[in-house]
Structure 1
Amino acid sequence: MPQLENVLKKIIGITMLAAVACPALAATANWTGRQEMVQTVTYQSAWNCQYMYGGQTFWRVFKTSCPSSVEVQ
């Protein structure tokens, strides 16, 4: 049985290494086409962009323009 224990330890070690090495899966939200020019707290102009993922909308601010998609977790 010691051989079985060593094999199980190796399998567990490889599984843990793979879990750490693999990045978290990110999903992609798409830009709805809505944007508003806003002023930041540092008095700079920026774009507030609306995105949709899974039927939910949310806003993100960007300096220059709205990307067509953004990653979400």
Structure 2
Amino acid sequence: MAMIEEGVKGMTVAGSTRFGVYEIDFGFGRPEKVEITSIDRGLTIGLTESKDLKGGVEVGLVLNKNVMDLFHTIFDEGLCFD
């Protein structure tokens, strides 16, 4: 709801966990790391399969700094189990 109040009209989610990006070899070896890139300056979420865990997912975020700082705080607190 806070994003709506700030005037954010939408967000972008891109990617797939089934592209097989870590299996592709263009003749110079398989990639070590894959990143979804974006020119969006505000709110983007990229998904790709995990390199290290079969069935796992890697998530990339593009957020404005103040929103990223808030996300970081909430995410860190959510990972703390008392």
TM-score normalised over the length of structure 2: 0.22
Greater helix content: 1
Query: Computing the radius of gyration over CA atoms, which structure comes out larger, 1 or 2?
Result: 1
Higher relative CO (Cα under 8 Å, sequence separation at least 6) belongs to 1
TM-score normalised over the length of structure 1: 0.23
